[in-house]
Structure 1
Amino acid sequence: MTSGLLSYLGLCLLITVTPGLDTAVVVRNALRGGTRAGLWTAVGCAAGLFVHAFVVAIGLAGLLLRSQFAFDVVRWGGAVFLVLLGLRSLWVARRPVAPAPGPEQEGGRWGRHAPVVQGLMTNLTNPKATLFFLAALPQFVPVDESGRAVPVAVGLAVIAVLFSLAGLGLVAVGLGRARRWLDSPRARQAQEALLGATLVALGVRVALE
């Protein structure tokens, strides 16, 4: 059991330090809105990750994977969301003099909750999170003890979520502190252009996979 847990912790650490869609959105919001916006985005991503893990733990993820149409709807939804965020950044990059609006200002009716919603939506519309838990959890859940299977799976899910939250939180804090040195109009323009192009490219990649 101990060796299995250590293996799972190592897997969670590896996934955490590998940049992905969640990292891109946290970077975007931390640079635009500071540490607070980045941290709330990380919370939203972690919440979405837990939803994926919980669904896998109670056995509903198979419904999504058995339906190619449902899988494609989720995948395309995520791709469109990322492309829209990227296009928004590219649009802002055209105006380097004016301060770039933070996630709260561009969030419309979501207002100050926009970073959480953006993080949540980015993760929920990423089927790869479900695939990860489908591949990982069965390796560490005691299938011969049905009464413990779901509680153990949920516990392992919480561990993965905590790893994700810690890793993304560190990214948010680091970029939030560095933001004051990157706050010139020219630097903001370059940031928005780079982030926008990255998000659009990620969205296109998700759509084509």
Structure 2
Amino acid sequence: MDNYLLFVFMSILLIILPGPDTAIITKNTISNRKAAGMKTTFGTLTALLIHTLAAVFGLSALILKSAFLFSILKYVGAIYLIFLGCKSIIILMKKQNHASDANDHQRKYENKSFFRQGFLTNLLNPKVAVFFLTFLPQFAGKGDNALLEFLALGLTYTVLTLFWFLIYIYLINLISEFMKKPSTIRVVEGLTGGVLILFGIKLAFEQN
């Protein structure tokens, strides 16, 4: 495996760059505590494993070569991000107009979807599939063990993502007293909703 340490270094830089995964994990951690952030993270990690296997078995290459399949995945992903953004803003408006028992009921309902949010946000992002097909091969060999090396790189990226979000969620909880104030949560809900909608629109209008 060529330049493994360089791969680790580059992966860390890419992982810490904010994106849709970071936005949804931030919102869920602040609004619904650490457990929600962890469930969202594990959803993201599961999607990364699927992207890794898809790249190893050539499914991502098929999507990349087919403009139709790529567009379908892109638009479904964009719609889902916009949906999450709108849902966040709607929840914010409801929290301003309902009593605390209604908020508790809403939080209990949301708790069932944390894993799904992280999973679908990552899985439906075709840019992740493109990333795995363009970035990972630069560090994998070209011999008989290429597929195993490809798989090892994908697993490394997934583990690094896990470590980063564990640290990230821990840091959020360190300042939980401030971050979990109702006024702060409202700001985060609104900003995250707007950011997810922008990510969705950006994804929808990107060229294949």
Settle same-fold status: TM greater than 0.5.
yes
> For residues 12 and 102 of structure 1, do their structure 2 counterparts lie closer, same or farther at Cα, with a shift above 3 Å needed?
farther
Counterpart residue number, 2:70: 71
Alignment of 1:100-119 (within 5 A): 100=103, 105-107=108-110, 112=112, 114-119=113-118
Is 2:190 the partner of 1:193?
yes
Is 2:152 the partner of 1:149?
no
Counterpart residue number, 2:25: 26
Counterpart residue number, 1:91: 90
Counterpart residue number, 1:51: 50
In 1, the alpha carbon distance for the partners of 2:128 and 2:106 equals 24
Counterpart residue number, 2:169: 172
Aligned with 2:160 (options 163, 171, 180): 163
Contact 2:31 2:180 (8 Å CA) reproduced: no
Contact 2:172 2:179 (8 Å CA) reproduced: no
Paired AA for residue 189 in structure 2: E
Q: Which runs of 4+ in 1 moved over 4 A?
A: 97-104
Paired AA for residue 13 in structure 2: L
Number of equivalences: 202
Is 2:197 the partner of 1:203?
no
Counterpart residue number, 1:38: 37
Contact 1:26 1:38 (8 Å CA) reproduced: yes
Paired AA for residue 159 in structure 2: L
Counterpart residue number, 1:126: 125
3-state DSSP of counterpart to 1:93: helix
Q: After superposition, what is the alpha-carbon deviation per residue over 1:90-133, rounded to whole angstroms, capped at 9, x for unaligned?
A: 112223374556986344xxx53x21111110110011111111
TM, length-normalised to structure 1:
0.88
The structural deviation recorded for 1:177 is 4.0
In 1, the alpha carbon distance for the partners of 2:14 and 2:157 equals 9
TM, length-normalised to structure 2:
0.88
The structural deviation recorded for 1:43 is 1.1
Give the unaligned 5+ runs of structure 2: none
The structural deviation recorded for 1:62 is 1.5
Contact 1:53 1:154 (8 Å CA) reproduced: yes
Q: Taking every aligned residue pair, what percent have the same amino acid on both sides?
A: 27
In 2, the alpha carbon distance for the partners of 1:141 and 1:8 equals 10
Bigger Cα displacement from structure 2, 175-184 vs 186-195: 175-184
Q: After superposition, what is the alpha-carbon deviation per residue over 1:69-102, rounded to whole angstroms, capped at 9, x for unaligned?
A: 1111111111111111111111122233745569
Contact 1:28 1:195 (8 Å CA) reproduced: yes
Counterpart residue number, 1:138: 137
Q: After superposition, what is the alpha-carbon deviation per residue over 1:14-44, rounded to whole angstroms, capped at 9, x for unaligned?
A: 1111111111111111111111110111111
